[in-house]
Each structure stands twice: as C-alpha cells, then as structure tokens.
Amino acid sequence: MISRMSTLFLRTLRDDPADAEVPSHKLLVRAGYVRRVGPGIYSWLPLGKRVLDNVARVVKEEMDRFGAQEVQFPALLPREYYEATGRWTEYGDGIFRLKDRKGADYLLGPTHEEMFTLMVKGEYSSYKDLPVNLYQIQTKYRDEARPRAGILRGREFLMKDSYSFDLDDEGLKRSYELHREAYVRIFDRLGLDYRIVSAMSGSMGGSASEEFLAATPTGEDTFVSCTDCDYAANTEAVEGRAGVALDASDEPALKVYDTPDTPTIDSLVELFNRLDLGRTVTAADTLKNVVVKLRHPGAKETEVLVVGVPGDREVDLKRLEAAVHPAEVELFEAEDFAKHPALVRGYLGPQGLAEAGYTYKVDPLVVPGSSWITGANENGKHAAHVVYGRDFTPDAAVGAAEVRSGDPCPRCGHALTIGRGIEIGHIFQLGRKFTNAFEFDVLGPDGKPVRVTMGSYGIGVSRAVAAIAEQKHDELGLVWPREVAPADVHLVATGKDDSVFEAAATLAVELDHAGVSVLFDDRRGVSPGVKFKDAELIGVPTIVVVGKGLAEGLVELRDRAGGERENVPLEQAAARLRELLG
C-alpha cells in the first residue's frame, strides 16, 4: 500500500496539546494518530487506525495460534445478566448504565465474564466439550473517575478479553499457562519492555493472577521486583512476610504520657524526644492505628477492622483491599467514631482492643517483640514501651503499609526496588465465581455434573498503542517497532526537481509490488526540513530520502531508531529495503 502525504488525512501539530502530560499522549496527538472527542474518548485518524489494527492483528494471530476461538459480543448488554452476579451494583459509578425506549436497563460492557459463561453454557453440556478458550477483540466501556493520558486510560477502549472453561483446576492451570505464553509472544512482538508481576498476594495464590506491566515512569501501577530473586509483584499484591521477632525482655513497662497538642506524628515525635526516653525517637518508632470498615459481598453490615502500621508509613488502601479481597475497604468517618467510643480518635492504641471486641491486624513490619509509642486510648495521652506480645497481641498480620524501595523481598529477604508500569495485560485463574452464579455444570465421565472452572484474561489493545508510544520515542518523535508501524518505509522526496518526484514515485510502486507498505511524502512546496521533522515525528522505522543525492544516482536510507544513514544506488534501494525489513 502506498499512502501519499499530499492526500493523506493527516496534519501534524507543532505544539503539544494543552491537556497532555505524558509523552505518548503528546506525540500521538501531535503526529496525527488520535484526536480527542471528549473526556477519555478519542478517535483514530488514518495512521492511528493502522497502528491499532496492527496491534489487534498480532493479538489475534497469537490467540489463534494456541487454539483460542474468536467470537464477538455486543457492548450493549441487558442488566439481568449482571444482576445475577451482583456486578450491576458492585461496579458502582464505574460503568455506564442506560435505559431503552421501553425503560429496560442496560449497561455498556466493561468486561464480559457473564456473557461468555452463558454462551458456553448455552452450547456445551458434556465434559467432552471442554476445554474451550474463547476471545473477542471488542470495544469496552468504563466510566473512569479520572480518565487520563489520552488513550492510556480511556472510557471507551479496545480490549482483547478471553475466557477459558475447564473441568478442573489442572485444566485451568493449563489454559492459564497457554494464555501466559501467548501474552509473552504478543508483547515480545509488540516490542514492549514489560514485567510479569503477581497481582494477588500470597494468601490467595500469587500465581493465580498476574499482570503484564509495561515499565515506564509514567505508568499508573507501581510494582516491586527483588534485586536478587525473581519475585515481582504489583505493589498492591506484595505479600506480607513476617519479620524476625525481637527480644523485648529488657523493655521497660508500658508508660502513659500526657501528650497535648500533638496533632501530627511529627509533633508527637518532637514531644517524645523532649521527654528523653533514652534514645532518639523517629516516626518509625510510633505505631499508627487506622480504623476501616470492611464491606463483605452481600453483607448488610460492615465489619470494623483496626490496622497497625509503623508511623512513618501510610496505609496503602489498595494493598489492604487486595489483602482482604473480596471485601471492600471503606474509611471510618467521624460518625463511625461517634458510635464506637472505645476507639478514641487520634489516641488509639492496640492495648485492650481485643477485650473491647475489635479485630486488630498489623502490617508484617510490626514484628513480635517490637516496642512502640502509640495511643493510650484516652484523649490527650500516648503510651510508650508498648510491646507486641506483652501489651497487645494482634489477631493476624496483613500487608497494609505502603511498600518502599529497600523493603525486604517476601521470598528471599533481599531488597526490593520499586518501578512504575502500565498494565497492558492481566491473566486470572478466576475459578467458579461465575459458573456458580449461573449454575453451569457439564456432565462428567461418570454421568455426574461437574461445575466448570474459568479463567479470565485481558489485553488492552488501544492502551498497548499508548504503552508502545510511551516506551518507543525520543525527543524528535515516535519510533515504532516494525510490527506495529503505520508503514514499513517513509519515503521522502525533496526539492523541486520533477525527476526526483518521479524517481521516488517509481520506487514507491516498486516497493508496493514487493509487499512493502510506503508512506510517501510527495508534497510539493514543502521544505525538506518540514518533511524530515514530520518523518521523525511520525516514527516509521525506516526513512528513505530521494533528493540531492539522486544526481549521483543515490538515495539515503535512515534508521529512525538508531539514526544510522546509508547511501544506496537508486536501483538497489528496493532490494536493500526488503533486506532490512527481513
């Protein structure tokens, strides 16, 4: 295919869009790949549509390769199916809901577990039918609270979602592994630098759910990786690993102090340093106790949970929520404290919580034998020398503190590093949640019903375009990997000489016949400088310049990524390019 820039629906922009913060957003708009329609809603211009199609093609090829079968569901879905699993309500503000002319409720599908379960249940009934892996590449909708970064977090986006159906856990693991291998091939072909990280903490089985994160400083997800072993996890999913217990036998008895005017941990630390406990106190010596409410699925009442973390750390609510899944975490508000006078706001300590009937859990950084400055459960008073195992005993440990670079790896104890990434894929051994909801059994070999088990797998196709752009660019513009580039070759004709344009046009046709797609800058009256700038911004991997050199019969090949240049006789150019393109 030859696309001539004289007629291509493309206008590059000199300036970054005002609302753009991350490089992919800036460059995809400036280079004419996407345009904003509304918050989190974008359209794809011709070059963008090609890149999107290329990513989708790679995904399709690798899904087909392992025997997954493509289907297509509507986005407009009746409420009843999502009501059956409780997700109509669970999604809260996160989905788009609407009514039809008859007042019937619909949603725009954010993900299709319900629909696939019902589809397979509708067709299959025997153990002989399984396993089956089905996928679709389909437009999804989520009413994000904060759509951002162009197509990186949109409200309408293209996703590959797939679902596996197996007879048993072993089968599910095989389907999961097939997906995992396909994802590795897909993201390798897309040229992405990515990490596979646990998306679930150890208690639920870290290998039952993994995320593929494209490493980039602008990513929304944070993940840890061990500097020594191969442990890597989403920060939310970092396993809590019990630390080594300390010997507290020399610790003085618990003592209560008047601590007026200590609204912050800093002011509390300052006060205790003035009190002179025999050592310098830091925020890490204080024990912060945070009260939350857990809302268990289907439960009317919430459960109160007190969580203790070292005072120099924030509670990571997402990590806590991952740890208490499927319960949801809600903040404890002033009105809640009013109903629980035993929980003294601002002066809460773990002493006596169990006796008062409250559940108390600590982050694993709070180890047995550790001694703390903490609330004394009286207004205006704090206690020191509050010892784990002597003055309080938590009900359990829970990974709740923010994870920091240098924290010990939960597997091997070496230091963790923290990175940021964009979630481009997610694989999940879902189990029987949905097959239970729809009572999907097949007849087993012994004639008895077997409840089917499922996996659920996603790739953000449009997001992958942004992730590639985020990783593959330089100060001049985009630098697409060959597999997804909008063309194989960007052919630039420069100057005013007709013979140059004719030679370039002939080369374009020659390349086209050889199956090489060409973006041909055939514009007259546009300076070479503008054309080169556009070529660098657009980011096709190989740039061919037909210009001054033609007097000596030469054209120039430029590698967009490395910048290498090479002069080649015109008549050898097509052959050399086919060689370069493999």
Write the DSSP string, 470-508: HHSEETTEE---TTT-S-SEEEEE-SS-HHHHHHHHHHH
Q: Please give the size of the binding site for a copy of itself, defined by CB under 8 A.
A: 53
Q: Which of 46, 205, 217, 406 binds a copy of itself (CB under 8 A)?
A: 46
Checking DSSP bridges between strand 489-493 and strand 518-521, what pairing results, if any?
Answer: parallel
Angle at 289 between CA 287 and CA 293, to 5 degrees: 160
14 near a copy of itself, judged by CB under 8 A:
no
Question: In angstroms, what CA-CA distances link 566 with 152, 172, 454, 556?
Answer: 36, 52, 53, 6
Establish if 527 lies at the interface with a copy of itself (CB under 8 A): no
Q: What is the DSSP letter of 203?
A: G
Strands (E), 76-172: 76-78, 97-99, 105-108, 132-141, 156-166
Compute the residue count for the chain.
582
Q: Which residues of 519-533 are buried (b: 16+ CB within 10 A; e: fewer)?
A: bbbbbeebeeeebbe
Interface residue with a copy of itself among 42, 347, 388, 532 (CB under 8 A) is 42
Instruction: Tell me the closest approach of the beta carbon of residue 36 to a copy of itself, in angstroms.
Output: 10
Closest by alpha carbon to 213, among 24, 457, 456, 424? 424
Judged by CB under 8 A, does residue 276 bind a copy of itself? Answer: no
Give the binding range for a copy of itself (CB under 8 A) out of 120-128, 348-356, 429-437, 568-576.
120-128
The one segment of 22-30, 44-52, 352-360, 474-482 that binds a copy of itself by CB under 8 A: 44-52
CA neighbours closer than 13 Å in the CB half-sphere of residue 21: 9
Only one of the segments 112-120, 354-362, 363-371, 567-575 lies at the binding site for a copy of itself (rule: CB under 8 A); that segment is 112-120
Within a 13 Å sphere around the CA of 449, how many CA atoms are in the beta-carbon half? 9
Contact between 1 and a copy of itself per CB under 8 A: yes
134 binds a copy of itself (CB under 8 A): yes
* Structure token pair of residue 560: 């967009």
Stretch of 63-71, 166-174, 213-221, 488-496 lying at the interface with a copy of itself (CB under 8 A): 63-71
Q: Which is nearer to a copy of itself, 108 or 199 (CB)?
A: 108
If one asks whether residue 454 binds a copy of itself (CB under 8 A), the answer comes out as no
Nearest to 309, CA basis, from 328, 323, 327, 295: 323
Within residues 138-177, the interface with a copy of itself by CB under 8 A covers 139, 141, 143, 145, 155-156
Least distance between a copy of itself and beta carbon 459 (Å) = 18
CA trace torsion 198, 204, 208, 212 (10° rounding): -20
CB of 95 to a copy of itself, least distance (A): 9
Measured from the CB atom, the residue of 60 and 404 that comes closer to a copy of itself is 60
- Of the candidate spans 69-77, 278-286, 304-312, 565-573, the one that interacts with a copy of itself by CB under 8 A turns out to be 69-77
Within residues 71-110, the interface with a copy of itself by CB under 8 A covers 71-78, 93, 96-98, 100-101, 106, 108
The site for a copy of itself (CB under 8 A) is made up of 1, 7-11, 32, 35, 37-38, 41-46, 48-49, 52, 64, 67, 69-78, 93, 96-98, 100-101, 106, 108, 115, 119-120, 122-124, 132, 134, 139, 141, 143, 145, 155-156
